[in-house]
Chain A
Amino acid sequence: MSAGFVVEVEGLSVTFPGAQEVAAVRDLSFSLPEGGALALVGESGSGKSATAFALLGLHRGTGARVEGSLKVAGVDVGAASEAELRALRGAKAAMVFQDPLSSLDPYYAIGDQIAEVLRVHRKVSRRAARARAVEVLDRVGIPDAVRRSRSRPHEFSGGMRQRALIAMALACEPKLLIADEPTTALDVTVQAQILDLLHGLRREEGMGLLLVTHDVGVAAESVDEVLVMREGRAVERGPVAEVLAAPARTYTRTLLEAVPRLDAPLSRQPVAAGDPVLEAVGLRREFRQGRRTVTAVDDVSLTVGRGETLGIVGESGSGKTTLGRMLVGLLEPTSGQLRYGGTEKTSGVQMVFQDPVASLNPRRSIGEAIADPLRAAGERDEKVLRDRVRELLERVGLDPDRYDRYPHEFSGGQRQRVGIARALAPSPKLVVCDEPVSALDVTTQAQVIALLGELQRDLGLSLVFVAHDLAVVRQVSDRIAVMHRGRIVEQGTVAEVYGSPTEPYTKALLAAVPTLDPVLAAVRRAARRELVAA
């Protein structure tokens, strides 16, 4: 091992063969000193994950072509035998994955899974391995580790699972921890806890950390250095504070600018709310799960005025999506009333969905999808239809000539634009956007948000913006409603809710949002610790 580097990468290229060969990583070089922390930051398709996988030789046997020299904890990954590779994996370099639920075997107890990994690398008895499993579970902060080690993954919450996965990584005391989007699937408060844990572990165990993330904020919180990647190449590399504060490259700058910030100046002038286009009173929705009844939304009342944007924030399971669906009439409330500008009929309300892939029928052209509401309204004249759809496509920034194309020919952001066009087609008064940008890269995200704002201004639309990301919501909303366990716990203007939150839950949420300033991040980490301690 040369000069105390745990990772040395020289001229790495990863190419996926296929009808269209994809060069995921091109000529990438970097190194990570022992005990150091590096973040690979990039948007989708930047090759950051392919790089992480290459470090453990996980491309072997998949047909992917890996070139260049790779040294991890002293092992030449390219030349190592299967057995040598296996000895590397888990023991010297361990990986933590994005989705903790699917990354654990659903059929075995957590403790057994950790013990299995341990026994692969160390000649220890089953009993000793189990004991070590409990030890590491305890280490990552799982309460009552002895008992919980006998639980299966589905009996854990998301954060707990991620802790368990980290415990597994710790089991063999590796020199390097590779964390691949470790918090992307988690709620923001949980994300903060996991990042804190990783931070603590790195300091206390002296492990190297390679963090792979799309979220600059997450990187800012956790590492010493960042490597910004784009289309398989390194764009910029440097100490985290430097790169984030004074990016040298345009792309880095664009990326940073696109990241919604809690501390950014408010771009919107609060709109004086017009007549209410939507009034909800005492909405309640129950679901039956087997014999239990779960209340997803509980006694929610809200009003949306003409031209106004109401932001609804909440973590997973807070009931915000259920609420959104009730507002447009996709779900019947169990009780409560909905009035749309004086009538109870669901009309003039449309929705933009979260997943741009799932919200378009893959078997129908986008033009047809957009024309649907018009046809349903009784428009039969093909020419009128076509003209209107072309107009809409143009309005959302798409080439109107792509009327007859199918969804898979569009990128995620473009598809979301199609979704918006479809929602606009019947000239609605109100559009409910359910996490419209959470599936998009930050740069795309910013564009779509901008588009929504523009449309709202031009068309006098009212919007309900449902999202988990506090910064995004802050950016687009006039008023905010914070949801927690089916109820609205706090409601007010952006300035009120973000500036002087009254509810502890709101405070906790805001405290958990990662910041782009590493120094501030450290301060807030300390604050969080205090909050937990308190």
Chain B
Amino acid sequence: MSEALLAQEVGTAPAAVPASGARQFWRRLRAQRSAVVAASVVAFLVLVALAAPLLTALEGQDPNTFHPSLVDSAAGGVPLGSFGGISAEHWLGVEPQTGRDLFARIVYGARVSLGVAVFATLLQVFLGVVIGLAAGLGNRAVDQVLSRITDVNVAMPLMVIALALLAVVPPEFPRPVLIALVVGLINWAGTSKIVRAQTLALKSLDYVSAARLSGWGKWKIAHREMLPSLAAPVITYAALLVPQNITVEAALSFLGVGIKPPTPSWGQMLTDADVWYQAAPSYLLIPAALLFVTVLALTVLGEGVRTALDPRSQSRLGGVRRGLLSRRKGGAQ
């Protein structure tokens, strides 16, 4: 039952989420050391990405200048010097063949990788919420149609459709935006399934019924009563989507349809670097390690967000205690 699995992923049903204001959320997030560390790492990466021009200016390099003199042309273009040509001028060495500065490319690459992932996630969430809400609130026919469309979306092999779509769109269209669009367009089904399921659950809640009795229209109720309750599962799910999307961008680049040169992205760099693992290991290892750390940090952060939003998984102790003392009372119904 895919909905059930998704629910497992995002945690609880909305009714069980108590009023957790933003302040409470931050408190619970801060209480988790791993989440704090992860958040710091993510913040650091975002800062690095934002400050890319500054950092490269500090280093005195830019990501696109070739340095033919720094590579051994006869040996295929392997960087001269040890550890991939690390020096005071080139902090992380240079790229094989071109001699472009690796540090500059990595910090600029962070912009693309993070930007694409975040934008794609926003799009997925937006589409998912709109479609899921519409399916959950609409009548049977609307729900049927939208649910089938969601099924189609699920059955679309991301890589293949992305390949096809990326080939269709004219090259003038900015690639990072395009990739984010494509990923967002192909991969919203998870969010919409969650939103639909939660909307259906919310619909039967008494306070939504009360709002209906107040005389509000359907969409007004969705906006006022449901959206805030949907925020928790959706944010939780989105937090898990971001690292996934970073990987997707990298994978698309890996298959040769990603970000276009000379724009650097981590996926692009990994793709180019993979054959160099013996001749210039640092060229491969640095972006690979960064990708790993980023995805790990985002995943841990996502877990933290989930925990902070879903008090049920807050702590095992709490869980057991609640288990012991739940349903203490309540209606005989």
* Direct A/B contact, Cβ within 8 angstroms: yes
B283 to chain A, nearest CB (A): 50
Q: A359-B206, A361-B225 are in contact. Are A435 and B324 (CB under 8 A)?
A: no
How many whole Å from A161's CB to the nearest CB in chain B?
Answer: 14
Q: How far is the CA of A485 from the CA of B312 in the complex (A)?
A: 37
Minimum CB distance partner of A329 in chain B: B213
B207 in complex: contacting residue of A63, A188, A358, CB < 8 Å: A358
Contact status B329-A354, CB under 8 Å: no
| B321:A372 contact, CB within 8 angstroms | no
CB pair A362 B216 closer than 8 Å: no
Report whether over half of chain A's contact residues are helix, strand or loop; otherwise say mixed.
loop
Q: How far is the CB of B61 from chain A (nearest CB, A)?
A: 50
Whether A62 pairs with B324 at a CB distance below 8 angstroms is yes
- Is B333 a contact partner of A435 (Cβ separation < 8 A)? yes
Give a binary string over A446-479; 1 marks a CB under 8 Å from any B CB, 0 the rest.
0000000000000000000000110000000000
> A377–B215 Cα gap in the complex (Å)?
7
Kindly provide the distance from the CB of A24 to the nearest chain B CB, expressed in whole angstroms: 9
Interface string of A319-339 (1 = CB under 8 A from B): 001000100111000000000
B214 contacts A362, C-beta separation under 8 Å? no
- Chain A contacts for B213, CB-based, 8 A: 328-330, 349-351, 373, 423
* Closest A residue, CB atoms, query B319: A62
Chain A residues whose C-beta falls within 8 Å of the C-beta of B19 in the assembled complex: 362-363, 406-408
Q: Smallest distance from the beta carbon of B15 to chain A beta carbons, Å?
A: 6
A316 close to B333 (CB less than 8 A): yes
CA of A325 to CA of B332, assembled, Å: 19
Question: Nearest-CB distance from A60 to chain B (Å)?
Answer: 10
Any A CB within 8 A of the CB of B262: no
Cβ A354 vs Cβ B209 within 8 A = no
Residue of A nearest to B27 (CB): A19
Q: Within the assembled complex, what's the spacing in Å between the Cα atoms of A353 and B211?
A: 12
Q: Does B228 contact A (CB under 8 A)?
A: yes
Q: Is A64 an interface residue (CB 8 A)?
A: yes
Cα distance, A406 to B225, chains bound together (Å): 14
B18 interface residue (CB < 8 Å to A): yes
In the assembled complex, B155 has its CB within 8 A of some CB on chain A: no
> A363, B229: Cβ atoms under 8 Å?
yes
Closest approach, in angstroms, between the C-beta of B273 and any C-beta of chain A?
48
| Cβ-defined contact, B214 with A372, below 8 A | yes
Interface size on B, residues (CB 8 A): 31
**A187 on interface, CB distance cutoff 8 Å:** yes
A387-B211 Cα distance, complex, nearest whole Å:
21
Q: Is the CB of A355 within 8 A of B206?
A: yes
Inter-subunit contact B214/A354 (CB<8 Å): no
Is residue B170 within 8 Å, beta carbon to beta carbon, of the partner chain?
no
Given contacts A353-B209, A372-B211, contact A439 B321 (CB under 8 A): no
Q: Which of B205, B214, B317, B333 contacts A376 (CB 8 A)?
A: B214
Please tell me if A252 contacts chain B, counting CB pairs below 8 Å.
no
Q: Decide if A186 touches B332 in the complex (CB within 8 Å).
A: yes
- Inter-chain CA distance A330–B228, complex, in Å, is 22
Q: Which of A64, A358, A369 has the most CB of B within 10 A?
A: A358
In the bound complex, CA of A117 to CA of B228 (Å): 45
Beta-carbon contact of A353 and B206 below 8 Å: yes
A498 at the interface (CB under 8 A from B): no
Q: For B320, what are the chain A residues with a Cβ–Cβ distance below 8 Å? A: 61-62
Instruction: Decide if B328 is an interface residue (CB 8 Å cutoff).
Output: yes
Determine which of B207, B214, B329, B332 lies in contact with A373 in the assembled complex, contact meaning CB atoms within 8 Å: B214
Produce 1/0 per residue, A55-92, CB < 8 A to B. 00011011110000000000000000000000000000
B215's nearest neighbour on chain A, judged by CB, is A376
Q: Does B212 contact A (CB under 8 A)?
A: yes
Number of interface residues of A (CB under 8 A): 59
Residues of A within 8 A of B228 (CB): 361, 363-364
Tell me the chain B residues, 180-231 only, with Cβ under 8 Å from chain A: 205-207, 209-216, 224-225, 228-229
The answer to whether A438 and B209 touch across the interface, beta carbons within 8 angstroms, is: no
A188 to B331, CA, bound (A): 12
Could you tell me the distance in whole angstroms from the C-beta of A176 to the nearest C-beta in chain B? 19
Pick from A53, A181, A351, A468: contact of B333, CB under 8 Å = A468
**Residues of A with C-beta under 8 A to B212:** 330
Q: Does A488 contact B (CB under 8 A)?
A: no
Among A44, A360, A373, A406, contact of B328 (Cβ-Cβ < 8 Å)? A44
B330 close to A (CB within 8 Å): yes
Please name the residue on chain A nearest to B228 by beta carbon: A363
CA distance A439 to B206 in the complex (A): 14
> Which A156-191 residues have C-beta < 8 A from chain B?
181, 184-188
Minimum CB–CB distance from B201 to chain A (whole Å) comes to: 11
Q: Which residue of B lies closest to A434 (CB)?
A: B206
Whether a CB of chain B sits under 8 angstroms from the CB of A237 is no
Q: Is the CB of B209 within 8 A of A62?
A: no
A429 interfacial contact with B, CB 8 Å:
no
Residues on B with beta carbons closer than 8 Å to the beta carbon of A13:
none
Q: With A64-B321, A353-B209 in contact, is A187–B215 under 8 Å at CB?
A: no
Complex CA distance for A372 and B224, rounded to whole angstroms: 10
CA–CA, A328 and B206, complex, Å: 13
User: Which of A321, A328, A439 contacts B329, CB < 8 Å?
Assistant: A439
Question: Which residues of A sit under 8 angstroms from B324, Cβ to Cβ?
Answer: 53, 58-59, 62
Contacts of A350 in B (CB 8 A): 213
In the bound assembly, the distance between CA atoms of A328 and B329 in angstroms comes to: 28
User: Is the CB of A98 closer than 8 A to any CB of chain B?
Assistant: yes
Interface positions of A from 422 to 440, Cβ below 8 Å from B:
422-423, 426, 435, 438-439
A422 and B210 form a contact (CB under 8 A): yes
B168 within 8 A of A: no
Nearest B residue to A49 via CB reads B328
Interface residues of A in 333-391 (CB under 8 A from B): 349-351, 353-355, 358-364, 369, 372-373, 375-377
**Once the chains bind, are B332 and A469 in contact (CB under 8 Å)?**
yes
B177 CB–A CB distance under 8 Å:
no
Known: A351-B213, A359-B207. A62 touches B329 (CB 8 A): no
Q: Once bound together, how far apart are the Cα atoms of A406 and B224, in whole Å?
A: 15
- Which residue of B17, B206, B229, B324 has the most chain A CB atoms within 10 A of its CB atom? B206
A100 CB to nearest B CB, Å: 11
Question: Which B residues from 290 to 333 make CB contacts under 8 A with A?
Answer: 317, 320-321, 324-325, 327-333
In whole angstroms, how far apart are the Cα atoms of A291 and B320 in the complex?
39
Contact: B329 with A351, CB < 8 Å? no
Shortest distance between the CB of A430 and any CB in chain B (Å): 12
Closest residue to A368 on the B side, CB-wise? B224
CA distance A355 to B212 in the complex (A): 17
Q: In the bound complex, how far is the Cα of B325 from the Cα of A441, in angstroms?
A: 17
Given contacts A329-B213, A358-B207, A360-B207, 12 further A-B contacts (CB under 8 A): A62-B321, A185-B330, A325-B209, A350-B213, A351-B209, A353-B210, A359-B210, A361-B211, A376-B215, A422-B210, A435-B331, A441-B329
Could you give 19 example pairs across A and B, Cβ below 8 Å?
A59-B324, A63-B321, A181-B328, A185-B332, A316-B332, A321-B333, A328-B213, A349-B213, A358-B205, A359-B207, A361-B229, A364-B224, A372-B210, A373-B215, A376-B216, A419-B210, A422-B214, A438-B332, A468-B331
6 A-B pairs closest in CB distance? A362-B19, A359-B206, A376-B215, A438-B331, A373-B214, A353-B206
